[in-house]
């Protein structure tokens, strides 16, 4: 079985899309709910609809992709309505992702969600790298503490946090110390590696237009960083905080590695962008084959059981 659980929420399959590609319209979200995925995650919402950055704003490479989308989305009301209507239908979860451009916007959106009938998981994105002039909140631990203090003063629904990748043990220690002070339901590591730069030597140019070509990396580039973040945070967070592993997943083997590091669910971004919804059936089959070969029946048989040497 590929069943898993986050807080009080049961997922028949641990695979979800990552907030990002192919999840901005209700059509796209319906397709994910109709697939083998355990549920869907909405494109991160802002209080009002946004067109996002100028194109070209996403470029595929042989190792993954770089993007600077700039949060194009239909606005919170659109996703909240979808989430209220579809959450829990035929056993599928709808995760509502929100990414305010300020702490004030995040609090305003959480208030709206608190007052709504939505009873699923909300994922607060503290790690969008692509808004010119705005730094990623997840790298400012005191700002994270402020937003969580303010949020949990009124937000009584289950809350997850989408975190940026951390690269230093001081950062793993620092963010865990903050998170362990709050009733966070889960963290999701990692968002894209922010502000990478892909160069085309033929044209001697950058490959995306916004921010002078700098953008978030996804795909093969990020898998070891993602595994490090899942593992390092699993070793530091209190057990009540579950972990969603995101980063570099394109096969059942990649999921197996994320679960070994401590992931309860996983999300697929870049590879879902390349393959679309058939990816959930393929990766489920690959993961089941690996588990059968190893004699594992449930994810709990190997979750977090990475060996050191």
Would you say 125 or 284 has its CB closer to ligand DHB? 125
* Residue 304 backbone class (left: φ over 0; alpha: ψ -120 to 50; beta: rest): left
**4, 35, 68, 127: which one is catalytic?**
127
- CB-based contact 75:112 (threshold 8 Å): no
CB nearer to ligand DHB: give 197 or 306: 197
- Residue 292 Cβ, how far from ligand DHB at the closest point, in Å? 35
Residues 40 and 38: their CA atoms lie apart, in Å, by 7
Residue 62 region, left (φ>0) first, then alpha (ψ -120 to 50), else beta? Answer: alpha
Cα gap 286→78, rounded to integer Å? 35
Residue number, 2 or 99, with CB nearest to ligand DHB: 99
Least separation in angstroms between CB 191 and ligand DHB: 5
How far is it, in rounded angstroms, from Cα 278 to Cα 112? 34
Q: How many CA atoms lie within 13 A of 146 on its CB side?
A: 11
What is the bridge-based pairing of β-strands 214-219 and 64-67? antiparallel
Q: Which residues pair with 39 in a beta bridge?
A: 16, 93
| Number of helices (H), then strands (E), in the chain | 9, 16
DSSP string, 95-125: EEEE--SSHHHHHHHHHHHHHSS--S-EEEE
Residue 161: CB minimum distance to ligand DHB, A: 12
Question: In the annotation, is 192 catalytic?
Answer: no
> In the complex, which residues of this chain contact ligand DHB (CB under 6 A)?
44, 68-71, 99, 125, 127-130, 191-192, 216
Nearer to ligand DHB, 132 or 292 (CB): 132
Residue closer to ligand DHB, measured from CB, 70 or 304: 70
What's the closest the beta carbon of residue 234 comes to ligand DHB, in angstroms?
A: 21
End-to-end Cα spacing for the chain: 29
- 129 vs 268: CA distance, rounded Å: 18
Furthest-apart CA atoms within the chain: distance in Å: 54
Is 148 within 8 Å of 84 (Cβ atoms)?
no
Q: Which is nearer to ligand DHB, 125 or 267 (CB)?
A: 125
Q: Phi and psi at residue 267, in whole multiples of 5°?
A: -125, 145
Of 23, 40, 65, 128, the catalytic one is: 128
CB of residue 42 to ligand DHB, shortest distance in Å: 12
Please report how close the Cβ of residue 45 comes to ligand DHB at its closest, in angstroms: 10
Q: Is 55 a catalytic residue?
A: no
- By annotation, the residues acting in catalysis are 127-128
């Amino acid at each position: 079985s590929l069943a898993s659980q986050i807080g009080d929420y049961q997922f028949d399959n641990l695979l979800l899309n990552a907030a990002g590609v192919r999840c901005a319209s209700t059509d796209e979200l319906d397709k994910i709910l109709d697939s083998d995925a355990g549920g869907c995650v909405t494109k991160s919402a802002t209080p009002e609809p946004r067109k996002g950055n100028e194109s070209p704003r996403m470029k595929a490479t042989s190792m993954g992709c770089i993007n600077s989308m700039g949060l194009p989305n239909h606005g919170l009301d659109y996703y909240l309505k979808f989430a209220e209507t579809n959450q829990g239908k035929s056993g599928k979860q709808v995760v509502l992702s929100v990414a305010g451009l300020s702490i004030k916007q995040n609090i305003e959106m959480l208030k709206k969600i608190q007052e709504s009938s939505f009873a699923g998981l909300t994922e607060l994105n503290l790690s969008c790298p692509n808004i010119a002039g705005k730094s990623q909140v997840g790298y400012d631990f005191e700002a994270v503490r402020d937003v969580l203090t303010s949020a949990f003063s009124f937000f009584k629904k289950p809350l997850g946090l989408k975190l940026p990748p951390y690269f230093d043990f001081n950062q793993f220690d620092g963010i865990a110390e903050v998170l362990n002070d709050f009733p966070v339901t889960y963290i999701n590591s990692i968002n894209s590696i922010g502000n990478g730069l892909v160069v085309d030597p033929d044209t001697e140019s950058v490959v995306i237009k916004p921010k002078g070509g700098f953008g978030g990396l996804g795909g093969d580039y990020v898998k070891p960083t993602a595994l490090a973040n899942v593992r390092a945070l699993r070793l530091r967070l209190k057990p009540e905080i579950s972990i969603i592993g995101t980063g570099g997943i394109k096969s059942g083997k990649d999921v197996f590695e994320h679960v070994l590091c401590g992931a309860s669910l996983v999300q697929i971004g870049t590879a879902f962008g390349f393959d679309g919804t058939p990816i959930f059936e393929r990766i489920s089959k690959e993961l089941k084959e690996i588990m059968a070969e190893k004699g594992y029946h449930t994810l709990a048989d190997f979750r977090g059981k990475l060996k050191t040497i």
